[in-house]
Amino acid sequence: MKPLATLLLLAFALPAQVPEARIKIDTDRRIGEVHPHLFGNFAEHLGRCIYGGIYEEGSPLADENGYRKDVMDAVRGLGVTILRWPGGNFASGYRWKDGVGPKDQRPVRPDHAWGDLEPNRFGTDEFLQYCERLGVEPYICINAGLGTIDEAREWVEYTNESRRTYWAEQRRKNGRDKPYNVKYWGLGNEIDGPWQLGHKNAEDYAKFALEAAKAMRRVDESIKLIASGSSNFGPGADWIAWNRTVLERLRGEIDYISLHTYIGNRENNVESFLAASADIDQRIEITEGLIRAALAGRRAARPIAIAFDEWNVWYRTMGRSEFETGATRLEEIYNFEDALAMGMFFNSFFRHAHIVKMANLAQLVNVIAPIFTNKEGLFLQPIYFPIAEYGKQKGNVALDALVESPRYKAGPRGELNYLDVSSTWDPKRRELFVNVLNRSATRDILTRIENVEGRLAPAAEIWQMYHDDLKATHTFGDDRRLRPRTWQETLKLERNGFSYRFPKHSLTILKLTVEP
Ligand code: AHR
């Protein structure tokens, strides 16, 4: 028989494949705005994030201020909206006054958070001017570890005061007349962690933070404050109790409570690695419940949102030595499966867009980061691409998609859908985004996607990251093999829906249009 005839015979003889998953989208089922600050980032004085990353005085790649121009371009491409600084653990021992004024008179101090030396050549003015250059909102974390309330108050005075006060005058002497008007201030970092300099119990932290908030707001009442939520999920730690106390004591003063989560694939099993969404969802939902409880019955209460202000994959370079010696500098080389994890985090943030109003990838350059430099240049790690792509959905409305999918057993996390999904809607452009992570290590999943309100247009844009090798990485001179593919597709529409096959271990963003 001729090959064509065989094909035709097969096509009629075999039953059409039935989708095994279903995603149903209704643009009326709105969760909340995908806040632009979900695409925040974090730059800590740690390893080569600041020195040798953002900032490299004397480098041919730097401008006259010492900012690496190649890094700035990559940061722009990443779509960073808000930048947290100066730590992290570093913040809890940082004296901001060491980092202002003539550079050659600034002291070199030991950094006891990471066992390094801090030259103080990059300080408040350098950070804030960097943010201005990039059009990024600055977010400063105060020293609530070894620092004082008065230092925090004076820091706000230095950055935001317009009158001729002592610290505003110091700012002017240092070349900056106009206040920077820094709006976002963190009331310390991970103060619940025993590893933190100046670690406190929840009651002591709350007393400190309450008074710091009061003093800082006396300088500028328009600032937004982020309380240090718990990041200690280890055995014996009661993260829920910490968050409850902090929320009850600080309600009325704070605008956010922070959450931090790092994940890793220590078992070398991609399906359980990507099951971490269950923990992320749970931490957000429990904290949301605690926020509701803390605000219940209070009329016109100051709303509190969640700032997920540290998140990423971090495990290969995690260990005691980092805290004590700074030895490995947290220079994770990310692979393809880590890129998939970026989609998992964003899907969770989008599904909780009504309460998660800020998220900061930790960190920006070299240190657990999407951008990796040496003295000659940089390369983009595989995690860079999903971050940049999800960022295009900022300002959209997150939708509550219905998902039916084959499931798998994820150990203590119970059963999970193979398909981890979020969806957003841009009502002005009538664009519908469906973000799908297929966590299966082996199965492509044919899925029916249905739309409820308005007719889908047949033209679709597809963005996809897929690679056979989960462990594939990038390096200097070779950072193209894990880049996403994008293409246009004409959908075969049927009853306002279509079928789409999501490849095993892949991340896909479908951009659809709903006709007016
Ligand atoms: O991002 C690295 C470190 O992780 C931060 O300094 C700290 O806040 C967290 O433990």
Q: What is the dihedral of CA 304, 197, 153, 164, to 10 degrees?
A: -130
Band of residue 327 on the pLDDT scale cut at 50, 70, 90: low
Separation between Cα atoms, residue 171 and residue 151, nearest integer Å: 15
Does residue 258's CB lie within 6 angstroms of at least one atom of ligand 1? no
Q: What is the reported pTM? A: 0.95
- In ligand 1, the atom with minimum distance to the C-alpha of 312 is 1
Q: Is the CB of 81 under 6 A from ligand 1?
A: no
Nearest alpha-carbon partner for 86 in 136, 40, 48, 143: 143
If one residue of 310, 321, 324, 364 were mutated to test the ligand 1 pocket, choosing by the most ligand atoms within 8 A of its CB, it would be 310
pLDDT in tens, 180-197: 999 999 999 999 999 999
245 near 203, Cβ under 8 Å?
A: yes
Separation CA 25–CA 86 (nearest Å) = 41
Answer yes or no: are the C-beta atoms of 310 and 383 closer than 8 Å. Answer: no
Amino acid 310: pLDDT? 98
**How many Å lie between the centroid of ligand 1 and the Cα of residue 190?**
8
Average pLDDT across the chain, whole number: 95
Any atom of ligand 1 within 6 Å of the Cβ of 88: yes
What lies within 8 Å, CB to CB, of 375 at 6+ separation is 52, 56, 59, 61
CA-to-CA distance for 5 and 234, rounded, in angstroms?
63
Quickly state the pLDDT bin for 320 (edges 50, 70, 90). Answer: low
Which of ligand 1's atoms lies nearest the C-alpha of 362? Answer: 1
Per residue in 273-283, pLDDT tens?
A: 999 999 999 99
Question: Where do the H-state alpha helices sit in 391-428?
Answer: none
Percent of the chain with pLDDT over 90: 92
Residue 15 pLDDT > 70, yes or no? no
Nearest residue (by CA) to ligand 1, atom 2, is 88
The predicted pLDDT at position 1 comes to: 45
In this predicted model, what pLDDT tens digit does every residue of 73-91 receive, in sequence order?
A: 999 999 999 999 999 999 9
Q: What is the mean pLDDT of residues 247-257?
A: 98
Tens-digit pLDDT profile for residues 439-493: 999 999 999 999 999 999 999 999 999 999 999 999 999 999 999 999 999 999 9
Residue 234: pLDDT band with limits 50, 70, 90: confident
* List of residues 6+ apart from 134 with CB closer than 8 A: 72, 75, 76, 80, 83
Ligand 1 pocket mutation, candidates 46, 94, 190, criterion most atoms within 8 A of CB: 190
For the annotated catalytic residues, the residue numbers are 190, 310
Is residue 299 very low, low, confident or very high in pLDDT (cuts 50, 70, 90)?
Answer: confident
How many angstroms separate the most distant Cα atoms in the chain?
A: 93
How many CB atoms are located within 10 Å of the residue 403 CB? 17
Which protein residue's CA is at the shortest distance from atom 8 of ligand 1? 88
Q: Read off the amino acid at residue 134.
A: L
pLDDT band with cut points at 50, 70 and 90 for residue 406 = very high
Which strand (E) or helix (H) includes residue 281? helix 277-295
Q: Is the pLDDT of residue 9 over 80?
A: no
Does 100 score more than 60 pLDDT? yes
pLDDT, mean of residues 296-321: 91
Share of the chain above pLDDT 70, in %: 95
**What is the per-residue pLDDT across 485-504, written as a single tens digit (0 to 9) for each?**
999 999 999 999 999 999 99
pLDDT of 326 higher than 60: no
| Least confident window among 107-111, 327-331, 458-462 | 327-331
What backbone phi and psi angles, to 5 degrees, belong to 163? -80, 175
What is the CB neighbour count within 10 angstroms for residue 392? 17
Torsion region of 414: left, alpha or beta (phi above 0 gives left; psi -120 to 50 gives alpha): left
Q: For residue 163, name the pLDDT band (cuts at 50, 70, 90).
A: very high
- Taking residues 141-151, report their average pLDDT: 98
Cα(49) to centroid(ligand 1), Å: 13
Does 192 sit in the ligand 1 pocket, CB within 6 Å? no
Mean pLDDT of 389-415: 97
Neighbours of 115 (CB within 10 A): 14
